[in-house]
């Protein structure tokens, strides 16, 4: 029973993998009870002699109970075996040692364009005709993810415009000739619109989406590589089930012209405007559960944080006061007080539980609202995460993603390089 209890402790309370900075104790951020320290030895194997004790570097070490712990002298990977009484393996852990990373916090409002032209096919919608389900667009060769660029030679600029043009052609007894982009291939497809008994309109059986996915917030950018991260969560299709491939997606400057405060059961939102292609400031290369990522065309200015700040690794984030940066008026970045109520390292995309405490932010927005996604969270001068979600029943509370996870996704904390060093 004793061995089972010790095993259960390690597997429940210690991670299988941990990130620390150079210069840190190898157990930075972890509390080891005295009972465990007295009975467990540590068998360590590192890449490139990264273990340091008393000014000497080692590749392999066995640390007996009660002995001084080494620090991580340089970047690399560390393999730890925990052995009870020096004999019985009870836990295995990998430690990634990274150089301190600094980025410039964001806070700027952006518009997200999933593609630079046309509308995207995000789903199929059966046409009911005499009890029979018909899919004209599918039969013509259109599939989810395609871009519809033109209809009968006219540029397609939005979903309502496309719907009206299709209905007009149907009422005139004409086919529609669609210019469609499928991957890198562009093709012309002819479709006969069908009168839908349910809607009374001519349709081709598609759900489409404009290029604009809405307003969000930049979390950080790296002044050296111009790599940025934003939103803190993934962009999905209309159903919320399928991930949208941004392909030639762009981010553009946005200006906040109004606010709809959030209420219990009714999420609020920022009312943003952006011109589109004329205000492009960067591309979108990745759309992931940790946000969107890409490269800026030029650096952005942050009047509150003009210089890079350190990025907190997960073990450095704690419960307590913090601040978020976001825009409520035009392009003005402001700092507002929040509380980090919980840190959940095991929940990769919702690793922070947040409580808004700033009276001005609560008065103006009710708390967290749509458009704040990606707003950087700072604690003790470090970037610790980004706002991602609001609690529907309490807009003063919400979730955030840990900055460490966003930086990994942006390749600013490079796992592959560490693995090569370990080899």
Quote the Cα angle for 255-260-266, to 5°: 135
- 254 by DSSP, 3-state: which? coil
Rounded to whole angstroms, what are the CA distances from 248 to 99, 148, 282, 285? 32, 14, 11, 8
Is 79 labeled as catalytic in the residue annotation?
no
- Among residues 179, 198, 6, the alpha carbon closest in space to that of 84 is found at 6
Predicted local distance difference test score (pLDDT) of residue 241: 59
Q: How confident is the model at residue 12 (pLDDT cuts 50, 70, 90)?
A: low
For residue 267, pLDDT over 80 is answered with: yes
Predicted local distance difference test score (pLDDT) of residue 122: 82
Indicate the burial class of 68 (C-beta count within 10 angstroms; 0-12, 13-18, 19 or more).
exposed
Catalytic residue among 109, 358, 375, 389: 358
pLDDT in tens, 241-266: 567 777 678 999 999 999 999 999 99
């390749």: which residue's tokens? 411
For residue 409, pLDDT over 80 is answered with: yes
Q: How confident is the model at residue 9 (pLDDT cuts 50, 70, 90)?
A: low
Q: How confident is the model at residue 73 (pLDDT cuts 50, 70, 90)?
A: confident
Catalytic residue among 233, 349, 375, 389: 233
Query: What is the share, in percent, of the chain residues with pLDDT greater than 90?
Result: 52
Q: Which residues on neighbouring strands pair with residue 338, listed in sequence order?
A: 322, 356
The DSSP-derived string for 82-138 is EEETTTEEEEEEEEEEE---EEEE---EEEEES-SSSEEEEEE--EEETTEEE-HHH
Tokens representing 314 are 């997960």
Catalytic residue among 146, 373, 375, 389: 373
pLDDT in tens, 390-408: 999 999 999 999 999 999 9
pLDDT in tens, 13-51: 677 888 888 888 888 777 766 666 777 888 888 877 888
Question: How many beta carbons lie within 10 A of that of residue 133, not counting itself?
Answer: 9
pTM for the whole structure:
0.79
Predicted local distance difference test score (pLDDT) of residue 93: 86
For residue 182, pLDDT over 80 is answered with: yes
Domains and CATH numbers, the chain: 2-99 (2.60.40), 119-209 (2.30.42.10), 306-409 (2.40.10.10)
Is 233 labeled as catalytic in the residue annotation?
yes
For residue 231, pLDDT over 70 is answered with: yes
Q: Cα(4)–Cα(20) distance, rounded to whole angstroms?
A: 29
Q: Which residues on neighbouring strands pair with residue 327, listed in sequence order?
A: 333
For residue 369, pLDDT over 90 is answered with: yes
What does the mean pLDDT of the chain come to?
A: 87
Q: How confident is the model at residue 237 (pLDDT cuts 50, 70, 90)?
A: low
């Amino acid at each position: 029973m004793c061995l089972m209890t010790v095993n259960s402790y390690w597997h429940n309370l210690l991670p299988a993998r941990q990130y620390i900075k150079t210069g840190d104790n190898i157990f930075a951020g972890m509390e080891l009870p005295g009972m465990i320290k007295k009975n467990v030895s540590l068998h360590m194997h590192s890449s490139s002699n990264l273990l340091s004790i008393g000014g000497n570097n080692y590749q392999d070490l066995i640390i007996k109970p009660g002995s001084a712990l080494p620090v991580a002298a340089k970047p690399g990977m560390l393999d730890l075996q925990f052995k009870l009484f020096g004999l019985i393996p009870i836990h295995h852990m990998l430690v990634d040692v990274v150089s301190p990373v600094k980025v410039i916090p964001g806070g700027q409002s952006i518009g997200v364009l999933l593609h630079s032209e046309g509308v995207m096919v995000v789903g199929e919608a059966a046409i009911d005709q005499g009890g029979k389900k018909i899919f004209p667009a599918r039969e013509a060769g259109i599939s989810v993810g395609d871009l519809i660029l033109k209809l009968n030679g006219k540029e397609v600029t939005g979903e309502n415009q496309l719907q009206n043009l299709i209905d007009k052609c149907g009422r005139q007894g004409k086919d529609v000739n669609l210019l469609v982009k499928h991957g890198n291939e562009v093709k012309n497809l002819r479709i006969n619109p069908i009168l839908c008994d349910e809607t009374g309109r001519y349709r081709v059986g598609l759900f489409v989406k404009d290029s604009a996915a809405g307003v969000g917030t930049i979390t950080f950018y790296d002044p050296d590589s111009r790599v940025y991260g934003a939103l803190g969560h993934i962009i999905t299709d209309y159903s919320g089930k399928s991930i949208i491939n941004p392909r030639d997606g762009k981010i553009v400057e946005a200006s906040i012209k109004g606010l709809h405060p959030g209420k219990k059961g009714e999420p609020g939102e920022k009312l943003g405007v952006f011109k589109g292609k004329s205000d492009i400031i960067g591309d979108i290369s990745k759309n992931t559960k940790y946000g969107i990522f890409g490269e800026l065309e030029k650096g952005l200015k942050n009047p509150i944080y003009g210089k890079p700040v350190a990025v907190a690794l997960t073990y450095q984030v704690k419960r307590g006061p913090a601040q978020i940066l976001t825009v409520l008026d035009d392009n003005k970045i402001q700092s507002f007080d929040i509380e980090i109520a919980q840190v959940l390292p095991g929940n990769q995309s919702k690793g922070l539980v947040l409580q808004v405490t700033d009276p001005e932010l609560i008065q103006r927005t009710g708390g967290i609202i749509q458009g704040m996604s990606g707003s950087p969270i700072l604690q003790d001068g470090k970037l610790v995460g980004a706002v991602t979600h609001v609690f529907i029943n309490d807009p003063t509370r919400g979730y955030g993603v840990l900055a460490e996870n966003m930086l990994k996704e942006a390749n600013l904390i490079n796992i592959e390089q560490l693995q090569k060093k370990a080899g």
